[in-house]
Amino acid sequence: MMSDDHKLIDESPIPDSPVVPNQLDGNTVIQFRCHKGIDCFNACCMNIDIILTPYDIIRLKQRLGITSTEFLRQYTEPFEFARNSVAGVKLNPVEGGTACQFVTDAGCSVYADRPTACRYYPVGLLSTRRQDENFDRASYALVREDHCHGHFEDRRLTIAEYRKEQGLEEYDEWGRAWRQQILKVKSAGPYIGQMSKASLQFFFMASYDIDRFREFIKSEGFSATYDVDPETMAELLEDDIALMAFGDRMVRQIMYAEKTIPMKQDALQTHLARRRINRAVDADDSDMERPGMAAYDLPLEGDEEKTKINNRLYNK
Q: Is residue 212 part of a domain?
A: yes
> Of the candidates 276, 12, 270, 5, which has an alpha carbon nearest to the alpha carbon of residue 129?
12
Residue range of the domain that includes 232: 194-296
Q: Is residue 239 part of a domain?
A: yes
Confidence of residue 279 (pLDDT cuts 50, 70, 90): low
pLDDT at residue number 188:
63
pLDDT at residue number 288:
36
Rounded Cα–Cα distance for residues 89 and 81 (Å)? 10
Q: Is residue 308 part of a domain?
A: no
Is 249 in the same domain as 102?
no
pLDDT at residue number 110:
98
Is 175 in the same domain as 108?
yes
Is 121 in the same domain as 248?
no
Q: Is residue 316 part of a domain?
A: no
pLDDT at residue number 75:
97
Q: Does 150 have pLDDT greater than 70?
A: yes
Q: Is residue 304 part of a domain?
A: no
Is the model more confident about 136 or about 183? 183
pLDDT at residue number 8:
35
Q: Work out the average pLDDT over 220-234.
A: 93
pLDDT at residue number 304:
37
Is 168 in the same domain as 41?
yes
Q: Is residue 301 part of a domain?
A: no
Is 131 in the same domain as 30?
yes
Q: Does 200 have pLDDT greater than 60?
A: yes
Q: Of 187, 208, 242, at which residue does a domain stop?
A: 187
Is 16 in the same domain as 147?
yes
Is 148 in the same domain as 260?
no
Sign of CA dihedral 157, 158, 161, 162: positive
Is 108 in the same domain as 247?
no
- Listed in sequence order, the DSSP H helices in the chain are 4-10, 54-64, 68-75, 116-120, 159-165, 168-188, 197-208, 210-217, 220-225, 230-238, 240-256, 267-279, 293-296
What mean pLDDT value characterizes the chain?
A: 81
Which segment of 10-24, 36-50, 81-95, 263-277 scores lowest on mean pLDDT?
A: 10-24
Confidence of residue 293 (pLDDT cuts 50, 70, 90): very low
Angle at 164 between CA 158 and CA 165, to 5 degrees: 90
Confidence of residue 295 (pLDDT cuts 50, 70, 90): very low
Q: Work out the average pLDDT over 205-212.
A: 97
Q: Which tens digits make up the pLDDT trace of 95-111?
A: 999 999 999 999 999 99
Phi-psi region of 266 (alpha: psi -120 to 50; beta: other; left: phi over 0): left
Which segment of 245-254, 257-266, 303-312 scores lowest on mean pLDDT?
A: 303-312
Is 198 in the same domain as 225?
yes
Q: Of 155, 187, 219, at which residue does a domain stop?
A: 187
Q: Is residue 200 part of a domain?
A: yes
Q: Is residue 309 part of a domain?
A: no
Q: Work out the average pLDDT over 108-133.
A: 87
| Total of domains in the chain | 2
Rounded Cα–Cα distance for residues 175 and 277 (Å)? 38
Is 119 in the same domain as 24?
yes
Whole-structure pTM value: 0.79
Is 183 in the same domain as 277?
no
Q: Does 303 have pLDDT greater than 60?
A: no
Q: How far is CA 283 from CA 75, 139, 222, 289, 296, in A?
A: 27, 47, 18, 13, 11
Is 145 in the same domain as 77?
yes
Q: Of 187, 209, 244, at which residue does a domain stop?
A: 187
pLDDT at residue number 275:
66
